[in-house]
Structure 1
């Protein structure tokens, strides 16, 4: 980013009292960008009390479990990337695990066919995404607790208390949440969801009315008082097991007691002098992101106009190759000890892949090999920066929107349906995106492969861009394009987030693109190159922070596709 004159800085700070100025929020002391303004404010309040970025992240994550229940959670899992003020980066993996009773063929019938049923929307779905057997052992509470114990500064109870207060006192139900409330009230086959948005008198909470969650408040109180043990042991754990036994789930008390989060070394890449830090397996995000950035570094981007036919074609071919490698090689690193991570993220490997790209026509995805289908669309991401120079990028999920849709009434939270992120049928890969490769087959205590890509880009050893997104299998590509927009095309973070995005995942062999953002001439030219184009309304919902260290500015942005999202700073 170019140097900003002092007069402009003064003007910007006149705008700080408004939450979002011209698509951006400016601050000097701290910034939180999340999918819910209330949760972002909780994080900022923690920073104002002297907490660091980890403290604010823990508080924001718990607040999102109350205010953004379609994806914010204590019944799911995810990943955290942390960079401290010295430029040292680490990650915490709190991805869900398969229960001890899980097996590679647990979702197949006696003839080897994937069984089906009705999902929480009342539509037909494969059984690995529905019912209590689809629930993986949750990791969120363990991950947040590990982050706090290792890197937090304020008392744990002070970080959980704001979410308890929100759950007890209620918060105004938004328009988007109310739409879900009315849908579940009328259509959901799951009793828990039919009652989820109801008040104590049984009436459905209306737009703008306070939605209170006393059962969730009690669960959070146990976590506040007992830490990680407040979820994985004691009365909460006992109620989880009662739910599993009643509803045909396979998670046991031993599964809960054995669950641990893991601190892992980040995947690191470089692009034109910037350092890129992201998640290692069981997330595929970091490996694929670095591989694609390496490929794009070999292109002469100064001669490739943004959004041009050449640009979209090049992106699609780069994505095609990274996703094919993802399908073939990646899974839980604790179970796949020989994954070629150094090879996949090397500049030499990228050179070989880049040389295979025909700049005049589309490649053909080999339907006998690999494709992708991981992570539900209702993941959520938030980014945090503090006054001490620390940064956190955190993405977590329930898999589908509202996860399995199932929960114990006494506990007040939703369980994930993450078992659907494993390859459901060994050896079966087809052109629709079904995958049967070995690295991501179901095994007891294995973590399912993920697309989540929380990322921190560093400049001169300091955090420069903190970014991530929900979006299921599109996550890697939306983060990739946003990072590319900022550091290759010199876009400010808000423009980089809002700019046109595409998605290619190897199989199915199509380009998804945000409708109305590609010109008719460009679409026609791409089709002439043998690309198949599929329009979608939007890709991803990015939450980002850009740091202008020369002017001591934090610039936050929330994707316009997130109706309740906000970047809040001070």
Structure 2
């Protein structure tokens, strides 16, 4: 058993934990910015992306335009985490008061089968993580275009072309891109079109500050700007991808692309600490379990609890929520997800199982539909924008693990996702993030895999006051929960909340991950309660925008190294 846990940690450690040093000894200027007139704010993981957003604002764009511009820019400068070869969830409150949840999650091809990742009856993780079979039909282009049509002030081309110029001009390799390309170089080498962009001529990863150019991606962006999403889903991009798939053992066809739709979902709405929260519904598990964890914690007096007691309660609430995630959650178009997972009554039954002095062992999923009487590399990215006209945007976007499937379709410059690994290849078998699932998240044709992405909007008295989200696999849920606790329950400004030491517990493995910044005294107290402590350098990457005293305050993750 110990060998199994060790092997799992070796795999998920670089996925969940930021693979950079804690946030000391550097500045991070430009990641979060406010327009000169103070009317638009943006926060992202890269200053070039945020700068492009501000340029778009200067040309008359609003927060919606800024968010989409960031998404395309990150596909250039942060390609290991997101891009148009992946998917996204968009949660937006528009100036006219509408709240939209746009599902741009990747989708399994029509030829996908339940056992497609099994060999000799056992799951082969290599098949779902690298190469043709790992790729789902990308949804970001369709979702971003829908967002632009619903709330953007500029044209689609206006928010794409600045990033086309960036891809053509090139960008300086950041420490994160350098580290991730080095870590994934053995797999990148398997795909010549990918290696041609992200490795040098000798097959070695580029060093920090080396300039990378991606002219093929620049051309893809220009074609998108000219022809719109039809270029991607019904035109040359779809044709090139289908042709490559046919030659390389993949399943995706041109029809899979042409049949893809970005879906409008009903947000998950919950109440916490006098605020109304909007989260993303399945196939995201984020909205459901952020609400569930906060509902559980409402049953305890967190203000009277000691620091170690508070972390203990948060960890235990996470454990029970992730147990439910493993059993109940999947694409709601294919499986019934119990609505009562987010009910206060169900949360109270879980809270009654939590002991303030010791961990709960042998935790299993609950049954929310019975009668209720009265882990760190980011892998993914989050974009937060807002404006004083009332547009508030939260976009979480991903290609899944670093550089996704490691495939760049020749001639496109686009890194393709490996989102098929987010399905449950086999009940009880963990994916790349150590998460297990049931048949609710089994592979099926045209199904969307479960995600932890948690774009969130916060309202007070029916007015938006905060937009937030995070990157980092399943730690996305725990980051969003902790940011909400500190800001809403304890009244911290976002720039202080985001600095607090983070924890993460996901039921499987039954370990409590804590950041190195956690005081020794607190760690020891948690261990005495029975937690199996694992210390990480740092965890995840959050982005937040708050409205304070009528002003927009954007906050970017301080753990992001330049």
Q: Matches of 1:410 and 1:349 in 2, distance apart?
A: 52
Alpha carbons of structure 1 residues 214 and 188: separation in structure 2 relative to 1, 3 Å = closer
| Secondary structure of 1:332's aligned partner | coil
- What is the deviation of 1:196? 1.4
| Secondary structure of 1:465's aligned partner | strand
Q: Matches of 1:156 and 1:465 in 2, distance apart?
A: 26
C-alpha deviations, 1:83-128, integer Å up to 9, x for none? 123554221000000111111111111x31112xxxxxxxxx5422
1:322 matched to 2:321? The reply is yes
- What is the deviation of 1:367? 7.3
Whether the 8 Å CA contact 1:375–1:399 is kept in 2: the answer is: no
Name the structure 2 match of 1:362.
Answer: 359
Whether the 8 Å CA contact 2:94–2:391 is kept in 1: the answer is: yes
Q: Matches of 1:376 and 1:126 in 2, distance apart?
A: 20
Alpha carbons of structure 1 residues 402 and 202: separation in structure 2 relative to 1, 3 Å = closer
Name the structure 2 match of 1:530.
Answer: 530
Q: 1:78 aligns with which of 60, 72, 88?
A: 88
- What is the deviation of 1:45? 1.8
Alpha carbons of structure 1 residues 347 and 165: separation in structure 2 relative to 1, 3 Å = same
Whether the 8 Å CA contact 2:33–2:43 is kept in 1: the answer is: no
Structure-to-structure mapping, 1:282-361, within 5 angstroms: 282-305=283-306, 308-336=307-335, 338-341=336-339, 343-361=340-358
Q: 1:107 aligns with which of 96, 101, 117?
A: 117
- What is the deviation of 1:543? 1.1
Name the structure 2 match of 1:7.
Answer: none
Across the aligned residues of Structure 1 and Structure 2, the Cα RMSD in angstroms comes to 2.7
Name the structure 2 match of 1:195.
Answer: 196
Q: Matches of 1:187 and 1:250 in 2, distance apart?
A: 20
Name the structure 2 match of 1:246.
Answer: 247
| Secondary structure of 2:555's aligned partner | strand
Q: 1:31 aligns with which of 35, 38, 41?
A: 41
Whether the 8 Å CA contact 2:515–2:537 is kept in 1: the answer is: yes
Q: Matches of 2:365 and 2:344 in 1, distance apart?
A: 28
Alpha carbons of structure 1 residues 248 and 309: separation in structure 2 relative to 1, 3 Å = same
C-alpha deviations, 1:115-170, integer Å up to 9, x for none? 2xxxxxxxxx5422122101111111011111112222211111111111111222
Gaps of 5+ in 1: 1-17, 116-124, 565-570
Name the structure 2 match of 1:3.
Answer: none
Name the structure 2 match of 1:563.
Answer: 561
Name the structure 1 match of 2:258.
Answer: 257
- What is the deviation of 1:216? 0.5
Whether the 8 Å CA contact 1:185–1:195 is kept in 2: the answer is: no
Q: Matches of 1:259 and 1:365 in 2, distance apart?
A: 41
Alpha carbons of structure 1 residues 375 and 233: separation in structure 2 relative to 1, 3 Å = farther
Q: Matches of 2:165 and 2:273 in 1, distance apart?
A: 46
Name the structure 2 match of 1:234.
Answer: 235
Name the structure 2 match of 1:162.
Answer: 162
Q: TM-score when scaled to structure 2? A: 0.88
- What is the deviation of 1:468? 0.7
Q: Matches of 2:441 and 2:278 in 1, distance apart?
A: 23
Q: Matches of 2:199 and 2:508 in 1, distance apart?
A: 42
Structure-to-structure mapping, 1:144-543, within 5 angstroms: 144-181=144-181, 188-190=188-190, 191-197=192-198, 207-305=208-306, 308-336=307-335, 338-341=336-339, 343-366=340-363, 377-426=378-427, 433=434, 435-519=436-520, 521-543=521-543
Q: Matches of 1:478 and 1:155 in 2, distance apart?
A: 34
Q: TM-score when scaled to structure 1? A: 0.86
| Secondary structure of 2:113's aligned partner | coil
Q: Matches of 1:388 and 1:375 in 2, distance apart?
A: 36
Whether the 8 Å CA contact 2:43–2:543 is kept in 1: the answer is: yes
Alpha carbons of structure 1 residues 193 and 356: separation in structure 2 relative to 1, 3 Å = same
Name the structure 1 match of 2:5.
Answer: none
